[in-house]
A and B are shown apart, each in its own frame.
Chain A
Amino acid sequence: MNARLIAMAAMALGMAGGCNRPDSSARHEAGAAGARPITIGVSMMNLSNEFIVMLNQAMEDKARELGVTLIVNDAQRSAEKQVQQIESFIVQKVDAIILNPCENEASSPAVDKALAAGIPIVNVNSETRSAPTAFVGSRDEQSAQIAMEYIAQRLKGQGKVVMMHGFMGQAAQLKRDQGAREVLARQPGLKLLADQTAEWDRAKAMTLMENWIQSYGDQIQAVFAQNDEMGMGAVITLEQAKRKDKVIVASVDAIADALQAVKDGRLDATVFQDARGQGGGAVETAVRIVKKQPYEKQLYLPFQLVTQENVAQYVK
């Protein structure tokens, strides 16, 4: 009986394996051109996060294009693990390091250690308190400002809004909260009815939205969710409650699902963060530093509002 079960399980996994995307290998063989290929150590915050995966793919593509070798490590959200990974890059004598920091404070020692060892370090996507050799990313506050301003414009400056927070205390949550509140302060007609965390999670966002509908009913005119997962949760719940036509939903990240929903007219707006620009820019900057070419010390890539009008250029 057990053998049969295992065979069936293998079948289930095999069938499911259909959606597996080919895993990009961590090391790329460099082109034969240079004497010794440039090697860059990369520590990514969390390779189970869709956006970080996109960022990593952009880096791999750029590395292949430039003929440099990447050694990619996943810090799995642990700043402590991240510091260890940088230490091992230093021992391996890599030419440069790209750090996608887990945390502002706790990942700072990674930057200090690399600089002390004389290895240039480029921060990508998020910042650390210690200043790296270069930074490539976006201002997270801006994403929330763009989304909230879109809501303000749609409501003509008058209306009641609810906000879904990410995981409380994380850098992205704090900055997106700050950005959203800046707009609210400028727009006295916008009232924040309630705000609560759904921990970046779609299922939790659905629960929260159900409870808010129960509590506030028709009062809610717009939802700002600090990421698309939660925004999608709000959309699904509002659709099930047959209220989506009365409520505007805007969120941040422009993940594939959200772009499709914008295209289908379900989600009103999302904010595009340029993963390709950030990942590619980080590798390019690192290579320029190693080759002693001029580089931007701080490269900020702007966020872009995505609505039904311009979604076509973002959907692959």
Chain B
Amino acid sequence: MPCPTDKLRTWLRQFGLLIALAALVVGLSIVKPTFLTFANGINVGRQISINGILAIGVTYVLLTGGVDLSLGSLVALTGVVAACLAHPGQYPTVVPVAMGILAGAVCGAGNGLMVTKGRVAPFIVTLGTMTVARGLALVISGGKPVSNLSAPFTAIGSGDLAGIPVPVILLLAVTLVSWVFLRHIRLGRYIYAVGGNENAARASGINVDGVKLFAYTLCGAMAGLAGVVLASRITTGQPNAGVGYELDAIAAVVIGGTSLSGGVGGVGGTLLGALLMGVINNGLDLLNVSSYYQQIIKGAIIVGAVWLDKRQES
């Protein structure tokens, strides 16, 4: 259980990140007036939605002290599964969406079972799943993108409700539910307990394996949701999609103040982390910074933001 100083620390972490984010936004607005407009805000929201959903999912796993490297491949696999079921006149849209999420959840549960019952290190388990899921995506699709998707399915990625894009609404919903769950639901608190001190958690009667299995399964399901959103947004199921997405997602979580060793952090910071990465990307494109320099600047800003965070903390 967190003591008051822990709470203060968490607040400071998020506060430090907010300062970095605010500085970026102010700077970009001065240099490029088109940055600070409602339309661009919507753009950034849409652009971070997939990474954001993945990052929220992997926050659960990182909080237990684990890691999930299979996310990018799961995005491809679940996107292909959904796309295969989303041709016009095939099934109602709920079927491809549900099956995409389910396929992700099953792969996540597989990860969780190998980690808990199999006692294999999460890094290795999810590295294996990364390759297996990519292979499955290629087998199911025959190595080619699955196109010709129904209009209701593609509306998930391109549609909006009251001017807010559907992917952004999904990201906000997932964040809000996770925030409540991790703070106020017993199973959510157990996730922190397991990540903080596994032995203590076990001694106090928590079903550690069950909690971990839950975290990996949920993370897989979120990857499934992200895969569905991506397939819908790009109007195809791409077996090659999502390469490296796991690293962007983990980066967003860590920037957001969640510890890689588990037990500390939360989804609020993760959302801010994803937002920071999205703003950097958007800003550099608006400024037409050369592709070579973009990579250098992105890396430096990510490390800089975490560094600023740590200084706030001490």
Contacts and interface: CB of A to CB of B under 8 A. Distances in A.
Interface in B6-46: 32, 34-35, 37, 39-40, 43, 46
B242 to A, nearest CB: 9
Contacts of B241: 201, 203
Interface string B77-116: 0001100110000000000000100110110010001000
B85 A53 contact: no
B281 A207 contact: yes
Interface of A: 2, 5-6, 8-9, 12-13, 15-21, 23, 47-50, 53, 165, 168, 194, 196-197, 201-203, 206-208, 210-212, 214-215, 232-233, 236, 240, 255-257, 260
A203 B143 contact: no
A94 to B, nearest CB: 24
Secondary structure type dominating chain A contacts? helix
Nearest to A2: B109
B153 to A, nearest CB: 14
B139 A211 contact: no
B239 interface: yes
Given A6-B106, A210-B43, A20 B235 contact: no
B140 A16 contact: yes
Nearest to A53: B143
A154 B239 CA distance: 35
Contact of A165 (B142, B285, B291): B291
Contacts of A16: 80-81, 84-85, 99, 103, 140
Contacts of A6: 106
Contacts of A20: 139-142
Given A50-B143, A53-B143, A214 B233 contact: no
B158 interface: yes
12 contacts: A8-B102, A13-B103, A13-B136, A15-B85, A15-B99, A16-B81, A19-B140, A197-B291, A201-B241, A210-B46, A236-B235, A255-B145
Given A48-B134, A196-B291, 5 more contacts: A19-B141, A19-B146, A20-B139, A194-B288, A260-B148
Contacts of B40: 214
Contacts of B143: 47-50, 53
For the complex of A and B, the 3 pairs showing the least CB-CB separation, nearest first, are A211-B285, A9-B106, A21-B142
Contact of A50 (B35, B84, B103, B145): B145
Given A15-B84, A18-B84, A196 B145 contact: no
A188 to B, nearest CB: 21
B166 interface: no
A8 B95 CA distance: 12
A23 B148 CA distance: 21
B305 interface: no
